[in-house]
């Protein structure tokens, strides 16, 4: 049933994190295969309150990113934004040239319990060791976007 499916996906998420946490980078395709398991867990929990769409070019799939980048960015969006059925949180993951763009509609929570801005800062410093291209964060009135340089 759903519970055993959930546990299967959860164990795959843990395995991926453990196997790759010491690697500098993984193919984007590897990260996408993993993130499907993570998204399954989120859909089980949030149902219609969360919509995640992927639009990744073939060329983009062959590039690399720092492992667990996508999970960090999706968690970040969920931590800072309201996600409910009346106001679904919509996260888009797409490739744009040499970048992976992860963006969401902005529905900021009044207070974020555990925010120390660490997730994004950690990503920025990790990528700064691997590429001259910066991680870019762009916020407008209604959208929040992070551009990750593909390696």
HEC per residue, 12-30: HHHHHHHHHCCCCCEEHHH
14-49 tens-digit pLDDT: 999 999 988 999 999 999 999 999 999 999 999 999
* Average pLDDT for the chain: 93
pLDDT band at 60 (very low <50, low <70, confident <90, very high): very high
Q: Are 147 and 120 in contact, with CB atoms under 8 Å apart?
A: no
Q: Quick check: 114 pLDDT over 80?
A: no
Q: Is the pLDDT of residue 56 over 80?
A: yes
User: Residue 90 pLDDT more than 90?
Assistant: yes
Return the closest-CA partner of residue 53 out of 33, 39, 73, 71. Answer: 39
Structure confidence at residue 116 as a pLDDT band (50, 70, 90): low
């Amino acid at each position: 049933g759903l519970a055993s499916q959930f546990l299967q996906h959860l164990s795959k998420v843990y395995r991926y994190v453990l196997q790759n946490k010491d690697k500098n980078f993984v193919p984007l395709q590897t990260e996408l295969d993993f993130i499907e398991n993570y998204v399954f867990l989120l859909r089980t929990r949030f149902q219609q309150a969360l919509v995640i769409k992927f639009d990744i070019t073939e060329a983009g799939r062959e590039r690399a990113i720092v492992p667990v980048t996508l999970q960090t960015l999706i968690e970040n969006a969920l931590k800072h934004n309201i996600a409910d059925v009346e106001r679904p949180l919509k996260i888009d993951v797409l490739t744009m040239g040499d970048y992976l763009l992860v963006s969401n509609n902005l529905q900021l929570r009044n207070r974020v319990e555990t925010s120390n801005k660490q997730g994004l800062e950690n990503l920025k410093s990790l990528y700064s060791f691997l590429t001259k291209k910066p991680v870019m964060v762009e916020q407008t009135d209604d959208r929040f976007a992070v551009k990750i340089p593909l390696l």
